[in-house]
Structure 1
Amino acid sequence: MSGFALHLLRHGAPATPGLLMGRTDGAPTANGIAACAARAEVLAVERLIASDLRRCRAAGEAIGRAAGLPCAVDPRWRELDFGDWDGKAASMIDPDTLGRFWNDPDANPPPRGESWSTLVRRVAAAINDLAPVPTLVVAHGGAMRAALHILCGFDQRQLWTFDLPYAALLSLRVWPGEPANTQITGLCT
């Protein structure tokens, strides 16, 4: 089996950048949507999926219109739920508490938020349900890092070394049933 291309595209810039936006359904900027559409122009995909949050869904719908593809919506590609921190700037959170979260997000999830392992489980379920056809998923930085963990085996510390700015594109080749054999075929930031 030759595997299939899986492209993960982070949503474009939100109208209010600099916030921990997990479940917060912040609006994207027109420039953010355009940046995502420009990244996707060169991709040959047969399936298009987006997180259900507006900052992903709007980009997915714009890409779909340009490519003549329907955009399926899948909430499993949402960002980590930051609980009580959701919608707040990092500067508004106790730095020691936030530091413990970044050092070990599974042992120190945000108050009333989602643990890292919960995010990984839902992204794994979304990946397992993918048809083996070239696919573009418009998602969030946390969901993209969870996919890298699942498909490539990167640990949490390694995942934070990936710079995933708005409209960042990760291109992977996935062999169904062999997650340890996934390769990153291209990385665009």
Structure 2
Amino acid sequence: MAERRFIVEADGGSRGNPGPAGYGAVVRDGDTGRILVEAAEYIGTATNNVAEYRGLIAGLRAARELDPEARVDVRMDSKLVVEQMSGRWKIKHPDMQPLAAEAREVFPRGRVGYEWIPRERNKDADRLANEAMDAGKAGKQWEPKVRPAAPVLATDPEPLPEPAAPKAGWGADLGITTTLVLLRHGETALTPQKRFSGSTGSDPELSDRGRWQAERAAEALAGRGTVQAVVCSPMLRTRQTAEAVAVRLGLEVRVEEGLRELDFGAWEGLTFAEVQERHPADLDAWLASTKAKPTGSSESFASLTQRVSVARDKILARYAGKTVLVVSHVSPIKTLVRLALGAPPDAIYRMELSAASLCAVQYYGDGNASLRLLNDTGHLR
């Protein structure tokens, strides 16, 4: 049996330092990124550092309850805790020493690794810590919210209507023209293996080849000299790709949540063949209808279309008359192309988009759209 891997994200806070304090922690499946356990507690008056250590301990204990033989990757936005638990910084404060020792005892030596992450990537643990402090302020202890279990397979019960297709033909005045240059992110370690990698997976970074691809895309776009703004999905691989281009162009990167990849649920990290073996009926249903969801997923292609359409409209309104680089993923880019063409929903299954490929759609003030480029990889040769 393969060794299980968990990701523990932990945080703690104190409103006063020292002051009313609480911690929060989540345990994620290491392969899919899905949250398995949430933990939080109001701990009375304490410092930020004490609360952070208490969050770490709670997260490790929760992971151990799931599988005491697992390997654990701890991710925290506390540089102090990460460096001390990694053995690079000495633990001098007497309040920290017993907490660190307690944390080390939860799993055997060598089974836990530590990584610092920025605060924006530790939102779930931060949210739980604040919920715990809010509960303490009200004279209560934190209680987990009741969350409905995710269905094995579901379709959208009342799907919203398909966004309107662009009008056919052109009038005498096309109005303001806005162009979206669509760049798929560069390769990650999962890309060559053709593994599902959505918005609830491990959020992999670019591989060496992926970084090379991002630089080639940046070079090509700089040579054209037309891009005036850069917008990207919140996933790490798209942010890294967007930043490579933005640095070359001297632009800032704006993150748009609606551009994230589809939630592939239990399929995250699996190959098509592995999904076919483990969830054959679900996969057949998903391939047969854009209203079907992957096993345990929160969304279908139909619901993805709605959020991508909202994101598109926000970008067109903010950057009217400009050329905007949009760095996203396979599903959102295919959706934008399909909508521009006015193609049926199942057309999304009939497109190929290579890593770091370019597409371009031009939008007109009268509501028309025109596909100008599809899956261009000339800059990678």
2:285 aligns with 100
2:331 alignment partner AA: G
Map 1:38-187 → 2, pairs under 5 A: 38-43=216-221, 44-93=226-275, 94-106=279-291, 108-113=292-297, 114-130=299-315, 131-132=319-320, 133-176=322-365, 178=367, 181-187=368-374
Secondary structure class of the residue paired with 1:165: coil
Q: Describe the shift of the 1:143–1:96 C-alpha distance in structure 2 as closer, same or farther (beyond 3 A).
A: same
Three-state SS of the structure 1 residue aligned to 2:196 is: coil
Instruction: Please say which of residues 69-78 and 81-90 is displaced more in the overlay.
Output: 81-90
Structure showing greater radius of gyration is 2
* Equivalent residue, structure 2, for 1:4: 178
Unpaired segments of 5 or more residues in structure 1? Answer: none
In 2: Cα distance, 1:42 partner to 1:88 partner: 33
User: 1:118 is paired with a residue of what secondary structure?
Assistant: helix
CA contact (8 A) 1:20 1:90 kept: yes
Q: Residue 58 of structure 1: SS of its match in structure 2? A: helix
Q: 2:188 aligns with which of 4, 8, 14?
A: 14
Deviation at 1:96, TM superposition (A): 4.1
Q: Distance in 1 between matches of 2:301 and 2:348?
A: 12
In structure 2, the residue matched to 1:28 is: 206
In structure 1, what is the Cα distance between the partners aligned to 2:274 and 2:349?
A: 21
Q: Per chain length, whose mean CA-contact separation is higher, i.e. which structure has more relative contact order (CA < 8 Å, sep 6+)?
A: 1
Counterpart in 1 of 2:28?
Answer: none
Compute the TM-score of the two structures, normalised by the length of structure 2.
0.46
Distance 2:365 2:214 in 1: 27
Q: Aligned in 2, Cα 1:39/1:84: closer, same or farther, shift over 3 Å?
A: same
Q: How many residues align?
A: 186
Shift of 1:177: 5.6
Say whether the 8 Å CA contact 1:11–1:55 is kept in structure 2.
yes
Q: Are the equivalent residues in 1 in contact too, given 2:217–2:245 (CA < 8 A)?
A: no
After superposition, the Cα gap between the structure-2 partners of 1:36 and 1:154, relative to the gap in structure 1 and judged at 3 Å, is: farther
CA RMSD of aligned residues (A): 1.7
Q: 1:160 to 1:37 in 2, by over 3 A?
A: farther
User: Offset at 1:169?
Assistant: 0.7
Structure showing the higher strand proportion among its residues? 2
Classify the secondary structure of the residue corresponding to 1:57: helix
What are the Cα deviations for residues 1-41 of structure 1, in whole angstroms up to 9, with x where unaligned?
A: 24111111111111222211111211211321321332243
Identity fraction in percent: 27
CA deviation after TM superposition for structure 1 residue 53, in Å: 0.5
- SS at structure 1 position matched to 2:362: strand
Separation of aligned partners in 1, 2:327 and 2:215: 10
* TM-score, scaled to structure 1: 0.90
Alpha-carbon distance between aligned partners in 2 of 1:176 and 1:141, rounded to the nearest angstrom: 27
Q: CA deviation at 1:156?
A: 2.8
Q: Which runs of 4+ in 1 moved over 4 A?
A: none
CA distance in 2, matches of 1:152, 1:92: 33
Distance 1:27 1:55 in 2: 5
The answer to whether the Cα contact below 8 Å between 1:9 and 1:36 also exists between their aligned partners in 2 is no
* Matched-pair contact (CA < 8 Å) for 2:190–2:197: no
